[in-house]
Amino acid sequence: MPIRKGVIPAAGLGTRFLPASKAVPKVLLPIVDRPVIQYAVEEMARAGITQICIVLSHGQGAISDHFAPAPELEAVLEKAGKTELLEEVRRTETLADIFYVQQHRPLGLGHAVVCAADFIDDEPFAVLLPDELFDPKDNFLGEMVETFEVEGASVVAGLEVPHEEICRYGAMAIEDLEVEPLRILSLVEKPPLDEAPSDIAIVGRYVLEPAVLALLAKLPPGALGEIQLTDALDILAREGRLLGKLYRGRRWDAGNKQGFLRANFDLAAERPDLAATVADLLGRPVA
């Protein structure tokens, strides 16, 4: 069955960006001139996903405004002959069919996915964490979808991280790093450094069979007292039903200030109108 549906959990409080994220949801902060969540929706669209459910929390209505038609703005742009901007604005409205559900309490990533259960409705689906920004030129999620279709098993994205950072992620125990797709033996969420089974982290891209929802529904709270998606996928892994794909492209953790700044500089450097400014600021040669 082709993957048509995707879930983007976006309900986080964004405390690392306060006070900027007090009134503006963190995922609406811009990387160059697009909000973080638009990169996530565009990546899903590139992978062939046509229906997207964004999981929100209270006070995040501006996210749905961003993807909704804006007839007054469009009329002004049209009248002023600002055709390119008009096209950019219209593009945000037609990337996919976007639906919204509320996660009323911050009970974890697994819980956020359960909030989208009615939308998922027993179909395979993708999950994309918007803070994990992958190179917009890549279509890694599309490659994961292909692996899901060929192998008939759920797939998660992995990335080798420095050993001292693995405790911030879900970590994979893998049969053989040389064989791709990776056969994942088990997963553990935020392991203490000396208990991490490898330095391969889960990095926010998942293509999942719908059975994951039933597993999530039965889970007790895990790491940090939250319902962890990793714990449900650990059950799949132990049954030999979970594959991994290593991402080797550029990736930024836009959920912290350092990664967010780097993403802004790196992606601005690729824009013809901004490259010279970035080069000037950083003393880099113009790309």
Q: Report the interface residues with ligand G1P, using CB under 6 A.
A: 109, 129, 132, 169-170, 189, 201-204, 228-230
* Shortest distance, position 190 Cβ to ligand G1P, whole Å: 7
Nearer to ligand G1P, 27 or 203 (CB): 203
d(CA 154, CA 144): 9
* Shortest distance, position 198 Cβ to ligand G1P, whole Å: 13
Nearer to ligand G1P, 89 or 185 (CB): 185
C-alpha distances in Å from residue 86, one per residue of 62, 279, 281: 20, 29, 30
Rounded (10°) CA dihedral 174, 183, 255, 270:
110
d(CA 277, CA 283): 10
Nearer to ligand G1P, 92 or 198 (CB): 198
* Shortest distance, position 265 Cβ to ligand G1P, whole Å: 21
Identify the CA nearest to 64 among candidates 75, 53, 49. 53
Nearer to ligand G1P, 92 or 230 (CB): 230
Q: Are 275 and 282 in contact (CB under 8 A)?
A: no
* Shortest distance, position 110 Cβ to ligand G1P, whole Å: 8
* Shortest distance, position 68 Cβ to ligand G1P, whole Å: 27
Nearer to ligand G1P, 50 or 186 (CB): 186
Look at residue 185 and give its three-state secondary structure. Answer: strand
* Shortest distance, position 249 Cβ to ligand G1P, whole Å: 16
Structure tokens at 242: 């979970």
User: What distance lies between CA 151 and its chain's CA centroid?
Assistant: 23
The residue number with the shortest CB distance to ligand G1P is 170
User: What distance lies between CA 43 and its chain's CA centroid?
Assistant: 9
Identify the CA nearest to 155 among candidates 190, 189, 113, 125. 125
* Shortest distance, position 168 Cβ to ligand G1P, whole Å: 7
Q: Are 140 and 45 in contact (CB under 8 A)?
A: no
User: What distance lies between CA 132 and its chain's CA centroid?
Assistant: 5
d(CA 52, CA 6): 5
Nearer to ligand G1P, 25 or 204 (CB): 204
Nearer to ligand G1P, 182 or 202 (CB): 202
